[in-house]
Amino acid sequence: MKETPPNYLDEHSVSSWLLTTDHKRIGILYLLSIVVYFAIAAVAAALMRINLLTPQGDLVLPETYNKLFTLHGVMMVWFFLIPSIPAVLGNFVIPMMIGARDVAFPKLNLLSWYLFNIGGLCALYAVICGGVDTGWTFYTPYSTTYANGHVVTMIMGVFIAGFGSILTGLNFLITIHKMRAPGMTWFRLPLFIWSLYSTSVILVLATPVLAITLLAIAVERLWGVGIFDPNLGGDPVLFQHMFWFYSHPAVYIMILPGMGVVSELITCFSRKRIFGYHFVAFSSLAIAVVGFMVWGHHMFVSSQSIYAGMVFSVLSFIVAVPSAIKIFNWTATLYKGSISYDTPMLYAFGFIGLFTIGGLTGLFLAAIAVDVHLHDTYFVIAHFHYIMVGGMVLSFMGGLHYWWPKITGRMYPEAIGRTAAIVTFIGFNLTFFPQFLLGYLGQPRRYHAYPPEFQVFHVLSTAGASILGIGYLLPLLYFLWSLKFGARAPANPWNATGLEWETASPPPRDNFEEIPIVTEDPYSYPPEPEEEAKPEPQHA
Amino acid sequence: MNFHLLPPEASAVARESDWMFWSLTALSLLICGLVFLPLCWFAIKYRRGRKVDRKLTAEVAMWKIEVTWTVIPFVIAMGLFTWSADAFFRMETPPPGAIEINVVGKQWMWKLQHAEGAREINELHIPRGVPVKLTMISQDVIHDFFVPAFRMKQDVVPGRYTTECFTPIKTGRYHLFCAQYCGTTHAAMIGWVYVMEPQDYRRWLQQGSPEPLAARGEALFHTLGCSGCHGASSKIHAPPIEGVYGHLVPLETKEFVMADDKYIRDSIVLPASQIVAGYQNLMPSFKGRISEEDLMALTAYIKSIADQTPEGYPK
Amino acid sequence: MPDHSPVHAHQFETLEQQHDADTMGMWTFLATEVLFFGGLIMCYTFGRFSYPQAFEAASHRLYVGYGGPNTAILLCSSFTMALAARAAQLGRKRKATALLILTALFGVGFLIVKGFEYHTDYLEELVPRFRFHWDGPEAAHAELFFWLYFVLTGLHAMHVTIGVVILMIVAVLSWRGRITAEKYVTVEIIGLYWHFVDIVWVFLFPLLYLIGHR
């Protein structure tokens, strides 16, 4: 068996991991952390879905159910989705993709991981102490005045983790601006970088507002100062404005990186340049910017003024356009490509299908008159799961499979990889498509029990969730298996373009022996040999 | 038309809301087709290893293609926005002649009172064909009054009134749900809306000969001591109550404010926040001492004497 | 040929690249601070528009006799900070060190005045929840004003304190000759942070102390 050359994984001591400043190791540390939080949140979801098999909701007490959906939301949003692609794949890949040796501030990078986990432990402590039942949205005055439990502890967890994500975003912005290799101009950057750049803008500008909002809840809860509770002289709808001003851009943090991954996968596995590079690049920025202006579409029936509702509705329609542009460009990229069905590509196809559906259902919610009916029903749940799971999780899995050889130096088993992708796709649709119908029929969210006529949809959904669970479990198992038994990966197993493929798998500690010089546009895949009808004219 | 898969269309706006919903569905299917069919077609036709012409023509038309598939979705989006915004305006504007019903939401029940005096818990009886305007407030946290069959919902907020209007067009019994998470048994804060033929409704209203809301408000006006200052024979210089509702009131800050439900409620609960011009800040606050239902009863009484004219106020 | 003097961090190729990155990093960090304070100022704006009389009455209880001199102190400190950065850029070690210490002293002066002011607020029963008494109407809204006042000025004072500590550390480094003309960017970046802290105060002072044509 060939010895692998010296690489960043060689040192095995605990301190070499816990005190590392190597962006690649930090990416792996994040991966381990988010898998744990994901597992906790998934168990919460499983309990919820089992409880919903019967209309009376027999499995758990109402209060327990409420704590479960709160836990699921908090863990999935802040401790899984937001860090997933940026802190795992972004940390690992960005410096190599731009031809740098590390991120701009490696020590801040490590600090961000610690902040993230201190926050996570704080949130879990709140759960162990008895949990929180406010929902991940912490609406007031329920969360400030009426909720029992360890709301402040949970909020502190999110608050601390938020600083971790600000540091990650800051690091990425400076890295992308200042550390590109010679010749790597802005329009030679892979689209993954453009989308993570846009994500980082949101991370840096939106998260501080969340911090203030959470601080305000804590102050009101602890010291009774009336900001949100009308009995104390406050305004409960002010909370919603402040919360959604952050949380709507946050959902773009939870999709833009996925779109970046899809651009990489589509080009590599159809061996073609992206169609409309500039449009895809600028659409990421457009989504980030316009995404700050639409928060009121969560509040159409909140007693917000009709005119404010109009403004938010039109902007919400507008923010859909750049996403549509990406979908069309990705599809056009496939035209006359040379398409292979490797596991990452299956996830990319899944993304296009499911994100399209999720995004289109967003139009239903942007249409203010229709939103009046659909707001706070299962339709909304289905909509955001199509995007966050069908979109972001699928692209995270696709990216993880794509870069796994680079990260670990091993190949995962391809046949079972494809099987898991298909199982995930089927399980996902069975879980969440019935929820669109449930929502239209009027079943509200956050109900532990429901009228009997809705049962058939819930049963279908729970059945789908079990299949989806298998789809998640399989990669966990075979990725672990591949670490010991997977085939050793060459430097460029996919024959992809991109600087990260020009260094060994796994890479050396400083990424490159010599910093490369970039002379080509991204995705310059050569034409397929058998298609040459005539020999190419020779260039001097 | 009433399939099992569709909620009943029981209000005047339900049909339009459904038209929009199903048009959006049709549009979505179209766009899915426009994306998925080429996707599958390309994925099969251009599968690696298949001998097929992959020679790309020069990219002359790229800008045109990009602009086309930017502009067309944008135009469609604007069309959808306009249609929906127009419908929303109509949904939010109370039609004339609406019967007014008060709703108080609290953890975890709905309390409703009709102007004629009938009071209900978790149920709402209303006549077919007559517009209804609900004036709602919460006693504690935010709730939401959701009737899927009417395609209407509105948050019910503590500290301020919100309104919800609908015109039922079909008799029947329809679900009422709380649609804003409000705590432990949020899922049990549900009930029924009964739409009845108008003559059945009138009969139902008279059951138990209830006291009309305005009369109850007048009684409260005396028992709570309001008449001590605001009554005709009072020696305290307090703003008159007759003819106030629905008119502009001058404040000592030189602004004018409309005397609507919110103004009446604020005057009772936070009297110091809006002093009427020419009067002193003498009124004690009734915050915490009067329930939301009683506040609504007092408002109904004050509304009932809105036609009487006190001197010195602009119309 | 590798560049041996002065040594840059391993992830960078040149010292200039490191300085560029550090400077942009500070600007980006300040952008997050703008949003952080901005969120609080939005709360304040909401309160100011919703309860104008209560906020005005509350604002009148703050002493311009404390706030005014504090504004002057910070403005002077920004001036000495700019001079310090210039001195560092020119390699004038003594001058830079002295100016850094002077800036830090101004910062300490600000904090001392603030300390006296908080003490006065405490004596006058203007501390929400802990020691608050309000005679006029709308006590809840006046208390909201004071909550915003304490959180805004408290957070600001925390930033001043952190700035003072960093200034002293950099002053020591400068005295030891570690801030050479090539590495003066460190002083410039601290300067950015300090100017930002000053600007925040320039916003807070009129918003909190000067409501209603005083």
| Strand ranges in A357-468 using DSSP code E only, listed in sequence order | none
- The residue of B36, B84, B152, B273 whose CB has the most chain A CBs within 10 angstroms, and thus the best one to mutate to test that interface, is B84
Q: Do A226 and C20 touch (CB under 8 A)?
A: no
Distance CA A159, CA A222 (A): 16
**Chain C residues touching A216 at Cβ < 8 A:** 43
What mean pLDDT do residues A25-32 have? 97
The answer to whether C51 and C164 are in contact (CB under 8 A) is no
Q: What radius of gyration, in Å, describes the C-alpha atoms of chain B?
A: 27
Residues B172 and B29 in one domain: yes
- The residue of C35, C48, C49, C141 whose CB has the most chain A CBs within 10 angstroms, and thus the best one to mutate to test that interface, is C35
Chain A residue with minimal CA distance to C132?
Answer: A225
Please give the model's pTM, rounded to 2 decimal places: 0.93
Residue A296 domain-assigned (yes or no): yes
What mean pLDDT do residues A164-192 have? 96
CATH of residue B123's domain is 2.60.40.420
What mean pLDDT do residues A127-151 have? 93
Q: Do B253 and C53 touch (CB under 8 A)?
A: yes
Work out the angle between the directed axes of helices B261-269 and B292-304 (0-180°, nearest 10). Answer: 120
What mean pLDDT do residues A302-306 have? 92
Residues B300 and B170 in one domain: no
Q: Given a contact as 3+ CB pairs under 8 Å, which chains touch B? A: A, C
From B210, B234, B264, the end of a domain falls on B210
Q: Do A364 and B24 touch (CB under 8 A)?
A: yes
pLDDT digits (tens, 9 = 90+) for A266-282: 999 999 999 999 999 99
Residue A522 domain-assigned (yes or no): yes
Chain B residue with minimal CA distance to A134?
Answer: B183
Task: Report the domain count for chain B.
Answer: 2
Q: Do A209 and C38 touch (CB under 8 A)?
A: yes
| From A205-214, A515-524, B271-280, the region with the lowest mean pLDDT | B271-280
Residues B85 and B196 in one domain: yes
**Chain A residues touching B155 at Cβ < 8 A:** 301-303
CA-based nearest residue to A90, from A24, A179, A36, A158: A24
ipTM of the complex: 0.92
From B151, B180, B210, the end of a domain falls on B210
Residues B162 and B75 in one domain: yes
Distance CA A146, CA B185 (A): 13
Distance CA A175, CA C180 (A): 25
More confident position, A2 or B234: B234
pLDDT (0 to 100) of residue C43: 87
Average pLDDT, chain C: 89
pLDDT (0 to 100) of residue A528: 63
What mean pLDDT do residues A260-268 have? 97
- The residue of B255, B267, B273 whose CB has the most chain C CBs within 10 angstroms, and thus the best one to mutate to test that interface, is B273
The tokens describing A535, both together, are 């020999």
**Chain A residues touching B148 at Cβ < 8 A:** 373, 441-442
Q: Where are the domains of chain C?
A: 15-209
pLDDT (0 to 100) of residue B56: 76
Interface of B with C in 196-255 (CB under 8 A): 253
Of B43, B77, B153, nearest to A339 by CB-CB distance is B43
What mean pLDDT do residues A518-534 have? 73
**Chain B residues touching A448 at Cβ < 8 A:** 187
**B174: closest CA of chain A, how far (Å):** 11
Q: Do A367 and B149 touch (CB under 8 A)?
A: no
CATH of residue B275's domain is 1.10.760.10
pLDDT (0 to 100) of residue B311: 54
What single-letter amino acid sits at A129? C
What mean pLDDT do residues A248-253 have? 96
Q: Do C137 and B272 touch (CB under 8 A)?
A: yes
Per-residue pLDDT band for C135 (boundaries 50, 70, 90) equals confident
Does the bond joining B41 to the residue before it have cis omega, within 30 degrees of 0? no
pLDDT (0 to 100) of residue C91: 84
Residue A76 domain-assigned (yes or no): yes
The answer to whether B267 and B279 are in contact (CB under 8 A) is no
Residue B50 domain-assigned (yes or no): no
**Does residue A532 have a pLDDT over 90?**
no
Residue B200 domain-assigned (yes or no): yes
Work out the angle between the directed axes of helices A343-366 and A394-408 (0-180°, nearest 10). Answer: 150
Q: Given a contact as 3+ CB pairs under 8 Å, which chains touch C? A: A, B
- The residue of A146, A238, A376 whose CB has the most chain B CBs within 10 angstroms, and thus the best one to mutate to test that interface, is A376
- The residue of A103, A170, A231 whose CB has the most chain C CBs within 10 angstroms, and thus the best one to mutate to test that interface, is A170
Residue B142 domain-assigned (yes or no): yes
Q: Do A325 and B53 touch (CB under 8 A)?
A: no
Chain C contact for B273 (CB, 8 A cutoff): yes
Chain C residue with minimal CA distance to B269?
Answer: C138
**Does residue A534 have a pLDDT over 80?**
no
Interface of B with C in 253-272 (CB under 8 A): 253, 270, 272
Distance CA A321, CA A308 (A): 21
pLDDT digits (tens, 9 = 90+) for A55-84: 999 899 999 999 999 999 999 999 999 999
CA-based nearest residue to A442, from B9, B210, B206: B9
Residue with tokens 């993304």: A351
**Does residue C3 have a pLDDT over 60?**
no
What mean pLDDT do residues A446-470 have? 96
Distance CA C41, CA C153 (A): 11
Per-residue pLDDT band for C9 (boundaries 50, 70, 90) equals confident
What mean pLDDT do residues A358-387 have? 97
SS3 A112: helix
Chain C contact for B308 (CB, 8 A cutoff): no
Class of CATH domain C15-209: mainly alpha
* A376 contact partners, CB below 8 Å, separation of at least 6: A444, A445, B144, B146, B153, B179, B180
**Chain B residues touching A271 at Cβ < 8 A:** 48
pLDDT digits (tens, 9 = 90+) for C140-184: 888 889 989 999 999 999 999 999 999 999 999 888 887 777 778
Question: What range defines the domain where residue B266 resides?
Answer: 213-304
**Chain B residues touching C138 at Cβ < 8 A:** 270, 272-273
pLDDT (0 to 100) of residue A47: 97
Between the alpha carbon of residue A219 and those of residues A231, A284, A469, the distances in Å are 16, 36, 40
Q: Do A370 and B66 touch (CB under 8 A)?
A: no
CATH of residue A193's domain is 1.20.210.10
Residues of C at the A interface (Cβ-Cβ below 8 Å)? 10-13, 17, 20-21, 24-25, 28-29, 31-33, 35-36, 38-40, 42-43, 46, 50-51, 128-130, 138, 140-141, 143-144, 147, 151
| Strand ranges in B179-222 using DSSP code E only, listed in sequence order | 191-196
Distance CA B99, CA B117 (A): 13
**Chain C residues touching A105 at Cβ < 8 A:** 21, 25
Task: Report the domain count for chain A.
Answer: 1
* A508 contact partners, CB below 8 Å, separation of at least 6: A5, A6, A7, A8
pLDDT (0 to 100) of residue A527: 73
The answer to whether A53 and A46 are in contact (CB under 8 A) is no
pLDDT (0 to 100) of residue B243: 87
Of A337, A451, A530, nearest to B51 by CB-CB distance is A530
The answer to whether C152 and C208 are in contact (CB under 8 A) is yes
Chain C contact for B280 (CB, 8 A cutoff): no
Q: Do A450 and B80 touch (CB under 8 A)?
A: no
Q: Do B141 and A57 touch (CB under 8 A)?
A: no
Q: Do C144 and A105 touch (CB under 8 A)?
A: no
Q: Do C137 and B253 touch (CB under 8 A)?
A: no
Question: What range defines the domain where residue A40 resides?
Answer: 14-531
Chain A contact for B22 (CB, 8 A cutoff): no
Residue A372 domain-assigned (yes or no): yes
**Chain B residues touching C55 at Cβ < 8 A:** none
Q: Please state the length of chain B.
A: 315
Q: Do A325 and B32 touch (CB under 8 A)?
A: no
pLDDT (0 to 100) of residue A3: 61
Residues of chain B under the 70 pLDDT cut: 1-5, 58-60, 309-315
pLDDT (0 to 100) of residue B59: 60
User: In A297-367, where does DSSP find H-type helix?
Assistant: 306-334, 343-366
pLDDT (0 to 100) of residue A533: 44
pLDDT (0 to 100) of residue B210: 85
**C132: closest CA of chain A, how far (Å):** 11
Chain C residue with minimal CA distance to B281?
Answer: C137
What totals of helices (H) and strands (E) does chain B contain, helices first? 7, 12
pLDDT (0 to 100) of residue A226: 80
Chain B residue with minimal CA distance to C50?
Answer: B273
Residue B202 domain-assigned (yes or no): yes
From B210, B228, B252, the end of a domain falls on B210
**C104: closest CA of chain B, how far (Å):** 45
Distance CA B11, CA B193 (A): 12
Distance CA B251, CA B275 (A): 6
What mean pLDDT do residues A313-330 have? 96
What mean pLDDT do residues C126-143 have? 84
- The residue of A91, A165, A209, A509 whose CB has the most chain C CBs within 10 angstroms, and thus the best one to mutate to test that interface, is A209
pLDDT (0 to 100) of residue B5: 64
**Does residue A540 have a pLDDT over 50?**
no
Average pLDDT, chain A: 94
**Does residue C1 have a pLDDT over 50?**
no
**Chain A residues touching C39 at Cβ < 8 A:** 208-209, 211-213, 242
Residues B244 and B291 in one domain: yes
More confident position, B270 or A169: A169
**Chain C residues touching A166 at Cβ < 8 A:** 32
